[in-house]
Amino acid sequence: MKNKQNLKGLTLPQLEEFFLKIGEKRFRAEQVFLWIYNKKAKSFDEMTNLSKATREKLKELAYIENLEIAQVQVDSESNTHKFLFQLIDGKKIESVLLFGNKRKTVCISSQVGCAVDCGFCATAQMGLFRNLTVSEIIDQLLTIERDFEVKVTNIVFMGMGEPFHNYENVIESAKLMSDEKVTGISQRKITISTSGVLPKIRRFTDENHNFKLAISLNATDNETRTKLMPLNAKWPIEALLEESKFYSEKNRNKITLEYVLLEGINDSIEDAKRFSKWCAEYNCKANVIPYNPTNSDYKRPSKEKIERFMAALGDKYASVTLRDTGGKGIKAACGQLAVEQD
């Protein structure tokens, strides 16, 4: 592949530039764009409206990178599919497909590993290897849609990695995903979830994106949050809440505060009341996700405790949702598959 250009991950203007550079007509770029993203072609041979000579020329100068599915696990209760993808350098990442009543949601990874080091997260134990390219990010969606013949309705960047540590590639791939010629998934159905990388939240606000934004809060005091998520020492809760308010005032969209509920750590009545108050005060939505145990010491609260927490949280001031996750049977962890499944 050395010296060859990977065409997957390129935008239409980038493809046009490539085609002009190799002496081809501009309109060929759109044909190839549609083949890669809309028809999900994995090779130039599938592109039957290109002449054989053009296809041969493309094979010489370019390639289409494809993820390989190394493993698929299916949770029989929820039909949740967890995919292990192998990348071109042999590294592995995970994506998850969740079925709701009307939704088919894919949970996308943005990095190989992660540097944030959240205590409850399986990915954190890997450390960070590298950022994913735009090609590797978007191909999680393309491969699942193609190989499993499913039309995805919602995307969440909640898989492996901190999306805002790979900001440019995540935004670029989310824009591609929402291109009408690609999947047509509206930007409001694409959620980017951050552990709270404050400068990037400000950048996201300033750039006025229509994607939804979520912050993984997970505690109502700084001591607990710093233990769970060390980056809280740098960007504490108060700063995140202020930033959320700024975002909602500027973009007229609410941020969702995610809250992974952990037995004996953040599941008290006082936590629930503080959380509810903040949602009202800072104009946020709450999304509570009972923990899916991984190989950490943290535990999922009992059903009674979850109900007690939700009752204390209430929905008077905040828009509150309890998201149980479909991945318990397949050890879905990391972002805890915190997606809307109604």
Per-residue DSSP letters for 120-143? T-TGGGG-EEEEPPHHHHHHHHHH
The one segment of 78-86, 89-97, 156-164, 244-252 that binds ligand SF4 by CB under 6 A: 156-164
Is 335 an interacting residue with respect to ligand SF4 (CB under 6 A)? yes
| Spatial separation of the C-alpha atoms in residues 65 and 336, rounded to whole Å | 28
Does position 24 interact with ligand SF4 (CB under 6 A)? The reply is no
Active site residue 334: yes
CA dihedral sign, ordered 190, 197, 328, 128: positive
327 is a contact residue toward ligand SF4 (CB under 6 A): no
Q: Which is nearer to ligand SF4, 117 or 263 (CB)?
A: 117
Shortest reach from residue 35's CB to ligand SF4, in Å: 33
Total of chain residues touching ligand SF4, rule CB under 6 A: 13
Residue 137 in contact with ligand SF4, rule: CB under 6 A = no
Tokens of 140: 């999680």
Q: Which stretch binds ligand SF4 (CB under 6 A): 37-45, 61-69, 109-117, 140-148?
A: 109-117
Tokens 């915190």 sit on residue = 338
Judged by beta carbon, residue 66 or residue 325, the one nearer ligand SF4 is: 325
How far the first Cα of the chain sits from its last, in Å, is: 43
In this complex, which beta carbon is closest to ligand SF4, that of residue 31 or of residue 294? 294
Question: Quick one: which of 244, 144, 246 has its CA closest to 185?
Answer: 144
163 touches ligand SF4 (CB under 6 A):
no
**Which CB sits closer to ligand SF4, 29 or 132?**
132
Q: In this complex, which beta carbon is closest to ligand SF4, that of residue 98 or of residue 128?
A: 128
Which listed range, 47-55, 111-119, 145-153, 172-180, lies at the site for ligand SF4 (CB under 6 A)?
A: 111-119
Q: Which of 266, 234, 256, 13 is nearest to 157 (CA)?
A: 256
Confirm if 160 and 109 have CB atoms less than 8 A apart: yes
Rule CB under 6 A: say whether 117 interacts with ligand SF4. yes
283 sits in the region (left: phi over 0; alpha: psi -120 to 50; else beta) called: left
Show the site string, 169-198: x = touches ligand SF4 by CB under 6 A, - = not: --------------------------x---
Under rule CB under 6 A, residue 121 binds ligand SF4: yes
Task: Give me the long-range contacts of 246-249 (CB less than 8 A, separation at least 24).
Answer: 246/202, 246/205, 247/201, 247/204, 247/205, 247/213, 248/282, 248/283, 248/284, 249/283
CA dist., res. 228 & res. 222, Å (int): 10
From 94, 162, 172, 243, active-site residue = 94
> Is residue 339 a contact residue for ligand SF4 (CB under 6 A)?
no
Closest separation between CB of residue 62 and ligand SF4, Å?
33
Nearest residue (CB) to ligand SF4, 138 versus 229: 229
Question: b/e string for 290-314 if b means 16 or more Cβ within 10 A?
Answer: bbbbbebebebbeeebbebbbebbe
> Should residue 114 be labelled a site residue for ligand SF4 when binding is judged by CB under 6 A?
yes
C-alpha–C-alpha distance, residues 153 and 162, integer Å? 22
Q: How far apart are CA 130 and CA 137, in angstroms?
A: 13
Q: Kindly tell me which residue out of 54, 66, 105, 123 binds ligand SF4, with binding defined by CB under 6 A.
A: 123
265 touches ligand SF4 (CB under 6 A): no
* 215 sits near ligand SF4 (criterion: CB under 6 A): no
Q: Which of 36, 112, 118, 237 binds ligand SF4 (CB under 6 A)?
A: 118
Which residues of this chain interact with ligand SF4, rule CB under 6 A? 114, 116-118, 121, 123-124, 160-162, 195, 334-335
Residues classed as catalytic? 94, 334
